[in-house]
């Protein structure tokens, strides 16, 4: 079976990362791309060899099995619900929504129709994180004491939608969800927010940086840092009673990057060089495999992923609720 995709929205990440991975996958084909700007849709269609159309027209097509939706975050729920109502599987760019209730609405709609719903976090599909989880489970670090993760990058152009509060802008939703999801991946979903602080831009009203402290049910402390007023950094560190492990370029490594896991002990340090991996291609392959296998939202593996998706948004809301706001 070949999964026939439609693209709802002509974003930069779609053009640079997700669509090239999709068209290169042997089990997927790109049928059509839709945009509110007909000229942009035509340009995308010409580049990737598919049809250009409008949003509603794309959802009505019989030759579209699944939709990849990279619209601004505030549009994920209304258009995601329309995609699912049309009987299409949905690969939704992260984060899933601007609220936990929005994420729950999407999960209910996918469950009612037994469709595949995935949030397009690609980094968990990179094998380096499975290696980290294995080392942790094997006791290589001893008893885990803390997790520290960060995703930050330089300021964006003033017209970037991530400075638009009405479209779901802000560094927490754009960058902070990465270390939060990494903490969930390695510590479990049973995290609670102990405190947080957000730097809010007085002109745009969006948070441009933040820091939060979370705690797992086992008492492991997790601090996450995020923002787009920094030099670039994307990493996390696990600190245990026996060793400390650091992962650099943890969230958006290019496909040719060879990860290096650094392990430091009291009197010893080592570096594990791992194979390169294309997490965007792996994410497309995993989604396509779920659709082909008929694994709808009720399948155990899919249901677990959807619970984590909702939990991410619950944690985001708790970070906002507990935040001390500082003027930027």
Is residue 94 among the annotated active site residues? Answer: yes
Q: Tell me whether strands 89-92 and 66-69 are parallel, antiparallel or unpaired.
A: parallel
241 burial level (CB within 10 Å; 0-12, 13-18, 19+): exposed
Distances (CA, A) of 240 to 139, 193, 259, 276: 9, 21, 21, 26
* Interatomic CA distance for residues 170 and 87, integer angstroms: 32
* Interatomic CA distance for residues 189 and 18, integer angstroms: 27
* Interatomic CA distance for residues 47 and 218, integer angstroms: 50
Q: Give the number of other Cβ atoms within 10 Å of residue 68's Cβ.
A: 26
Q: What is the dihedral of CA 86, 90, 94, 96, to 10 degrees?
A: 50
Q: Quick check: bond before 95 cis, omega within 30?
A: yes
Contact 255, 277 (CB under 8 A): yes
Q: Give the number of other Cβ atoms within 10 Å of residue 220's Cβ.
A: 21
Catalytic hit among 40, 82, 88, 94: 94
**Tokens found for residue 153:** 């990058």
* Interatomic CA distance for residues 49 and 51, integer angstroms: 7
* Interatomic CA distance for residues 183 and 322, integer angstroms: 18
Q: What is the dihedral of CA 269, 273, 279, 281, to 10 degrees?
A: -170
Looking at the annotation, which residues are catalytic? 94
């Amino acid at each position: 079976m070949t999964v026939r995709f439609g693209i709802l929205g002509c974003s930069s990440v779609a053009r640079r990362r997700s669509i090239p991975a999709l068209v290169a996958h042997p089990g997927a084909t790109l049928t059509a791309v839709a945009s509110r700007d007909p000229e942009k849709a035509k340009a995308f269609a010409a580049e990737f060899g598919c049809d250009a159309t409008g949003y509603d027209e794309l959802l009505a097509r019989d030759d579209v099995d699944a939709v990849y939706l990279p619209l601004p975050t505030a549009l994920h729920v209304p258009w995601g619900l329309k995609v699912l109502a049309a009987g299409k599987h949905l690969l939704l760019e992260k984060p899933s929504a601007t609220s936990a209730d929005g994420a729950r609405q999407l999960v209910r709609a996918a469950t009612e129709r037994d469709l595949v719903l995935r949030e397009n976090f690609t980094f968990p599909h990179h094998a380096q994180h499975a290696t980290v989880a294995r080392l942790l489970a094997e006791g290589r670090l001893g008893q885990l004491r803390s997790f520290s993760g960060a995703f930050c990058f330089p300021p964006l152009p003033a017209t970037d939608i991530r400075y638009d509060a009405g479209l779901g802008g802000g560094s927490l939703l754009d960058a902070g969800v990465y270390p939060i999801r990494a903490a969930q991946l390695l510590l479990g979903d049973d995290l609670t927010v102990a405190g947080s602080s957000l730097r809010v831009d007085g002109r745009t009203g969006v948070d441009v940086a933040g820091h939060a402290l979370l705690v797992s049910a086992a008492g492991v402390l997790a601090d996450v840092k995020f923002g787009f007023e920094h030099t670039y950094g994307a990493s996390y560190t696990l600190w245990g009673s026996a060793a400390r492990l650091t992962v650099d370029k943890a969230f958006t490594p290019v496909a040719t990057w060879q990860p290096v896991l650094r392990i430091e002990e009291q009197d010893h340090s080592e570096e594990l060089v791992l194979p390169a991996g294309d997490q965007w291609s792996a994410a497309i392959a995993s989604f396509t495999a779920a659709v082909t296998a008929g694994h709808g939202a009720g399948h155990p593996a899919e249901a677990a992923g959807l619970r984590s998706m909702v939990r991410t948004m619950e944690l985001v809301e708790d970070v906002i609720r507990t935040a001390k706001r500082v003027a930027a």
